[in-house]
Chains A and B, each alone.
Chain A
Amino acid sequence: MLGKLDISAIPIDEPIPLVAGGIVLAIILAVLIWAGVKGYYPYIWREWITSVDHKRIGVMYVLLAMVMLLRGGIDAIMMRAQLAIAFHSDGLFPPQHYNQIFSAHGTIMIFFVGMPFVIGLMNLIVPLQLGVRDVAFPTLNSVGFWLTATGALLVNISLVIGEFARTGWLVFPPLSELTYSPGVGVDYYAWSLEISGIGTLVAGINLVTTVLKLRTRGMTYLRMPMFCWTTLASNLLIIAAFPILTATLTMLILDRYLGFHFFTNEAGGNSMMFMNLIWAWGHPEVYILVLPAFGIFSEVVSTFSSKALFGYRSMVLATMAICIISFMVWLHHFFTMGAGPNVNAVFGIASMIIAVPTGVKIYNWLFTMFGGRIRFDTPMMWAVGFMVTFIIGGLTGVLVAVPPADFLLHNSLFLVAHFHNVIIGAVLFGAFAGYTYWFPKAFGFRLHEGLGKAAFWFTLIGFYVTFVPLYAAGMLGMTRRMQHYDVAEWRPWMIAAGVGTILLTIGVVFQLLQLAVSIRHRDELRDATGDPWDGRSLEWATSSPPPVFNFAVMPNVTGEDAYWTIKSKARQQGLQAREPDYRDIEMPRNSPTGFVCAFFATVMGFALIWHIWWMVILGLVGAFATFVVFAWRDHDEYVIPADEVARIDRANLAERQAAVNAAESPA
């Protein structure tokens, strides 16, 4: 009846996951009861869960990422605590638990923090920057988000029911095959990523279509803001790479469920093929994460320097070059597999070539600052911190792309330090910069500056104190994924890294504090102008938060930095006098399709993990029926009448005008 599932699946002998799970469950219950008492359910259902508004979906993606950042962060704290202690001892966690922690940390941070954070910001901002009213496929967008949430949910369920993979975040066979990992851990991993991978793929298709097909009048490709370009590149990579991940995991699932032999030791399976396939997805994945961050920094550096981006066309070229070359370098993840000197050298050099367009980007940001009038608000602090940190990560990255150097550093803590150097230094700093930069656009008030700066400094210094010791430990031969060690010379570095983790944790606490304090003081931090940073692109042309239709009248773009041009013209020729010609606006109807579909996907995923076959069929039929019902719909749009549009827009404009006047009149 319940497949492999019985009461012994709950790890009563391991108090840590149970207590953690209990606390999380208590928090969720408390929030649900609170929302119920306050009567928020209808609002949450109508305005958020069933919403197909790209802004709402973007916000939910970012919220998911931030919640999962806490989960992945707690994993990180446990790992660093373990290694600070586990010298000549077993430390805090036995191997079967520690191995789950590092596997979960990697999986969560990449798939459920990095991905939703950048996809959320792209969802929120790209349609606004393009001057359009929504993404190309609004309901599909909602489906994509909820499937991502399904994956995250399944990974977290593994905490209290069964176990998570204990094989590392890329579940390398043959260790991940049924023979050597008979538990449900690898199945949790595989099904979570199969389901959320489909979510990511549809998000990618949606955003590529949006950029290619939905641009406002005059928004030619070479007038798009840099963030739109990096979004395009990143989502092209998603479309090309994620099917590889899905197929690879499908092969692993076939091995585990139906006795196939793709990657087994026996019967002609070849585990080296898994390495190639997983990294053929895995390397582009790095650029899927980092390209949007590059876009965010391009916007931030240009805005806060009060200058157009230097070398815009060069930046476009560099972005697309990275997009293409990133697909040709996957083998550098396993130079030590013995492929031979020609293969290693070719892939080593190809990997280095990516450093050229990346270097160009750094120089272009540098020259964007040159001759600027730089305001050091929190997003700009993240940007400068990123530029310095990322160069160091780039240096160590090119270093491990030199095969003979990699022969000493492969899989070492030096490598771990390198990829945290680029993922924290670029992706996470970029996500935080984008979060503070666009928060006022999404909610109509700024985040607290002082707490934001405190978070920045703790995160920056905490990063160096954590990861410089890991570089050092890697030079001393220490390898990753060790649950304990007996080499005395590694010990001080592990303790130092533990101290750094405390600083990073304080940084995260400041971020949470910043959010809480800012919400409490939202009236003082209110931004009525819709343009708190003196922005340059079209997202700042509308009110904050934007109306559901984004723009009452579709903007007309005449050059790069569209909104800057509009503002300059307005300054020279006086403010716009002519009332625009308001028309009826058609907007997509809300739809519970995404949520219901994801509900059935969760049921199906859970049932597949535990071999509960009747429930698999139930989930599959349910998800398909949801899709059929959606496909049968008669009305998918509703009309906002011109009068209503005019009323909303006039009110917004009046408020903005008042705010601008108040700012300009001498106090």
Chain B
Amino acid sequence: MNILDPQGPIAAANKTILIDSVAIMLAIVVPTIVAILAFAYWFRQSNPRARYLPDFAYSGRIELVVWSIPALTIILLGGVAWIGSHELDPAVRVEGTGSPVRIQAVSLDWKWLFIYPDQRVATVNSLTVPVGAPLEFELTSASVWNVFFIPQLGSMIYTMNGMVTRLNLRADNEGDLRGLSAHFSGDGFPSMMFDVHVISPLDFPNWVANTAKTGAVLDADSYRELERQSVETGRRVYRLDNPRLFEYIATQKIPPAPGPTLTTQSAQSYLGK
């Protein structure tokens, strides 16, 4: 899950900006730290060779320099931030090979539901995507906030009930990655990690076909069962009944999920339940 080992163009661009920004700042931070330690050491009271300048409390030239150095650094970094924010806007489409794959992610308590509306399949805690294709995510939450984050693919984003956020990613190498929620969402939060399988575009249709064959049906009833709080250990797969399920969740046509609430009974006793 090393963010310095990106597996897609977004993560790579995020990382480049991160490294560049650190490099720009290190250029002034390192000399400043050295100067602090050097001045502190040289001007120690016990050093007879250090000159004592009790009245040296103002110098227009030094003032000009000390205001300019951080200002210039920030102008440079501000440019990086401005350009970077626009180029890496999560809502902007990513180029890629093959047709884009639409994925609708719903954070449930405490698991992730991934809906493939075009393929009419859905999975829990396991995301399978073809290598090189643009991945167009729409995200929402069934109850409380979470953050959808695959560190090696880059750019995390919030999931919020009643709202849809957008994220565009691409995976460039076949293999297995992991994702997680990056916003605390209750007792089962640490279990919101999910698998990401990046497979060849040739295998992707097979995977879809297999999933559709083996999966149970995801409709309003099975969704209601799924949205109840639980820590998911298996990797359930579904055939999608209605491709507009995500829209119903995001627009609250399906009301917000009842959880998360406390997981221990003892603590609930004084709640009068």
Contacts and interface: CB of A to CB of B under 8 A. Distances in A.
Interface of A: 4-6, 8-9, 11, 13, 94-96, 99, 162-163, 166-168, 172, 174-175, 179-184, 265-266, 271-272, 305-312, 314, 334, 336-338, 340-342, 344-345, 348-349, 352-353, 355-356, 358-360, 362-364, 366-376, 384, 387-388, 391-392, 394-395, 398-399, 401-405, 407-412, 475-487, 489
A56 to B, nearest CB: 35
Given A370-B43, A399-B21, A476-B3, A336 B143 contact: no
B92 to A, nearest CB: 8
Contact of A180 (B18, B162, B259, B270): B259
Given A174-B143, A408-B151, 12 more contacts: A4-B272, A95-B189, A99-B184, A183-B271, A314-B67, A349-B81, A364-B66, A366-B32, A402-B18, A404-B17, A477-B152, A482-B189
Q: Which 6 A-B pairs have the closest CB atoms?
A: A371-B53, A359-B70, A477-B151, A477-B1, A363-B66, A345-B85
B206 to A, nearest CB: 29
A371 B43 contact: yes
Interface in B56-99: 56-59, 62-63, 66-67, 69-71, 73-74, 77-78, 80-82, 84-91
Contact of A407 (B74, B88, B161): B88
A271 B18 contact: no
B209 interface: no
Interface in B151-191: 151-152, 154-158, 160-163, 165-166, 178, 180-190
Contact of B74 (A341, A356, A387, A477): A356
B25 to A, nearest CB: 5
A480 B52 CA distance: 49
Interface in B1-53: 1-4, 11, 13-15, 17-18, 21-22, 25-26, 28-29, 32-33, 35-37, 39-40, 43-45, 50-53
A407 B165 CA distance: 14
Interface stretch (B126-134, B194-202, B216-224, B260-268): B260-268
Given A376-B44, A408-B11, A402 B17 contact: yes
7 contacts: A340-B91, A356-B74, A370-B43, A410-B147, A477-B1, A477-B3, A479-B147
Among B143, B190, B260, chain A packs the most CB atoms within 10 A around the CB of B190
B221 to A, nearest CB: 21
B156 A402 contact: no
Nearest to B186: A175
Contacts of A375: 45
A356 B70 CA distance: 5
Interface residues of B, number: 107
Given A272-B160, A399-B25, A404-B84, A180 B260 contact: yes
Contact of A95 (B154, B165, B187, B270): B187
A272 to B, nearest CB: 7
A182 B272 CA distance: 10
Given A373-B52, A405-B21, A479-B182, A96 B263 contact: yes
Interface in B129-149: 143-145, 147, 149
